[in-house]
Structure 1
Amino acid sequence: MTDISLKLSAYLDGELDAAEARSVEAMLETDPALQAELDALIAADALANDQFDAQLDQPVPLALAQKIKALPVGSPPSRPASRPVWGALAAGLALFMFGGMGGYVLKDRISPAGLQFAQAGWLNDIADYHAIYASQQRHLVEVGADESDHLKTWLGASVGADFSIPDLTGFGLTFEGGRLLVANGKPVAQLMYRQADGTVIALCLQSIPDGDTSSPPAFRQQTIKGFDFVSWQGGGAAYVVVGPGGHSGLADIAAQAAREV
């Protein structure tokens, strides 16, 4: 895996500072091959996650379950240290997970070169959350819009980034409230808006190190798991507006949100 591939992985995971992220985005705008590599990383991660989730619903093969059940609770001191039973079990499980005994795909998979393959990071997690919560009616949010001051204080402290709640009524969006999520192992503030026809648009933010408050945001559009995303960074946080695939005006909504958040 090349240095730029590793940097793409860090970019997707939100691990780059603002200056490094802008550098990657500039290269993506002028290098179609690099953009194709980024799209392939996102698509491969989504596919692997879907396969991993599907495997969780399948039973453990009987032969493996019997071997695990037959293992002793402890090992006597005289057992040779060079081949502990748990080491053998771990090796067997690794072969099972990677080999042909069911085709399991690990979430943190390894490439043929032995390096970890990049994951789509927090945006992939946001897509999963949006698929669940956008269909909710009564329980769309955890804290309602009538407690906006509390929402800003609570989520701001939890995420580690101050923010304002953008007014998106000009796009026919009513602010419904928000909730706390966890994406890529870090807290995320999610603000939910709804159109008159029931369409839900979410604005999510997560703190990042070394945020740049001086430069205008660089917006990035992509589709993940059937949802459209417009993401950007600024002021010590990473932001994303997410809506259903093909939603018109999502980029304009993101631009307005970036000005007010």
Structure 2
Amino acid sequence: MSYDDPHSAVPKPPDLQALSAFVDEALPDEAHAAVLEHLAQDSAAAARVADWRAQKAALKALCGAPVADEASFIVVRAPVPWWRRVGLAACWLVAGAGLALLLGPLGSRLPDSLRGHEPMGFAKRADIAYAVYTPEQRHPVEVAASEEGHLVNWLSKRLNRPLSVPSLQEYGYSLVGGRLLPGDAGPAAQFMYENPEGARLTLYVTDMGDNEAAFRLFREGNRRTFYWVSDHVGYAMSGPISEGKLREIAIDVCSDLGGKPESWQ
């Protein structure tokens, strides 16, 4: 069965061609929605889609053409002689050793993603969810902001705890809506915001067993995610804006949700 067949009772997971068509916004509405549903359950496929979208953005920046008008590019490289490959490998080995010596005394001052600290699983999930859903124009959320009451009640029941949606109006971002996602060990919620220029931020919320108050930064490409745990709930604020501005917003969100951001200072 195929994602192009809207009458398939149990569609197969999308193949590479279907995922590529999804990234190019070339699937019919029903097939598009089916792939979206699958990505919410398959983190590997979601990560692949996120990578492809990042490549499309890089091509856009390189070629100066709108993403919607992009053609597919195949880069053909001339084979590198074996002696050159060996030389390059040796150079990288020496450079890597030097970099390790250089970063050793600075490691404690680097963000998690640069000093080798493994970020908490929900931070990675939040980043992938941001990369997958924020480019969506037709289906960015399951429940729109026009039904905010229903959205909050629904997600509160699914996460089995009262949720609230912090306002980001003072930063120029309005609520787009939200959706239910799978977390590491249960359901998770994603709330999406957008400013007048179309830039988007997301707030990811999920239950956590531990209750540490650490405030950390996770980076992936041009995306940044500030994440923390408060009252056994994990929160992650994701977006491509400047680190300082995202941190400011995350601190306000933490305070609005009953956290204690003063412990981060």
1:82-161 equivalent positions in 2, closer than 5 A: 121-161=121-161
- Once the two structures are TM-superposed, the CA of residue 218 in structure 1 deviates from its matched residue by 4.2
1:232 alignment counterpart: 228
Structure number, greater radius of gyration: 1
Over 3 Å counting, the alpha-carbon distance change for 1:41 and 1:155 in structure 2 is farther
Over 3 Å counting, the alpha-carbon distance change for 1:37 and 1:169 in structure 2 is closer
CA distance in 1, matches of 2:220, 2:131: 11
- Once the two structures are TM-superposed, the CA of residue 222 in structure 1 deviates from its matched residue by 2.8
User: Do 1:222 and 1:228's aligned partners in 2 also have CA atoms closer than 8 Å?
Assistant: yes
The gaps in structure 2 that reach 5 residues or longer are 1-104, 258-265
- Give the letter aligned to residue 142 of structure 1: E
Percent of residue pairs identical? 27
User: Do 2:108 and 2:115's aligned partners in 1 also have CA atoms closer than 8 Å?
Assistant: no
User: Do 2:126 and 2:236's aligned partners in 1 also have CA atoms closer than 8 Å?
Assistant: no
1:181 alignment counterpart: 181
The answer to whether the aligner puts 1:39 opposite 2:113 as a matched pair is: yes
CA distance in 2, matches of 1:128, 1:40: 18
2:30 alignment counterpart: none
RMSD in angstroms over aligned alpha carbons? 2.8
1:168 alignment counterpart: 168
- Give the letter aligned to residue 246 of structure 1: S
Report the 3-state secondary structure (helix = DSSP H, G, I; strand = E; otherwise coil) of the residue aligned with 2:209.
Answer: coil
Q: Aligned residues, how many?
A: 153
CA distance in 1, matches of 2:182, 2:114: 25
1:53-92 equivalent positions in 2, closer than 5 A: none
User: Do 1:232 and 1:239's aligned partners in 2 also have CA atoms closer than 8 Å?
Assistant: yes
Over 3 Å counting, the alpha-carbon distance change for 1:207 and 1:133 in structure 2 is same
The gaps in structure 1 that reach 5 residues or longer are 1-30, 44-117
User: Do 2:122 and 2:234's aligned partners in 1 also have CA atoms closer than 8 Å?
Assistant: no
Q: 1:76-107 deviations in whole A, cap 9, x for unaligned?
A: xxxxxxxxxxxxxxxxxxxxxxxxxxxxxxxx
TM-score, normalised with respect to structure 2:
0.51
TM-score, normalised with respect to structure 1:
0.51
Q: Which has the higher contact order (CA 8 A, sep 6+)?
A: 1
Over 3 Å counting, the alpha-carbon distance change for 1:146 and 1:223 in structure 2 is same
- Give the letter aligned to residue 223 of structure 1: R
Over 3 Å counting, the alpha-carbon distance change for 1:225 and 1:162 in structure 2 is farther
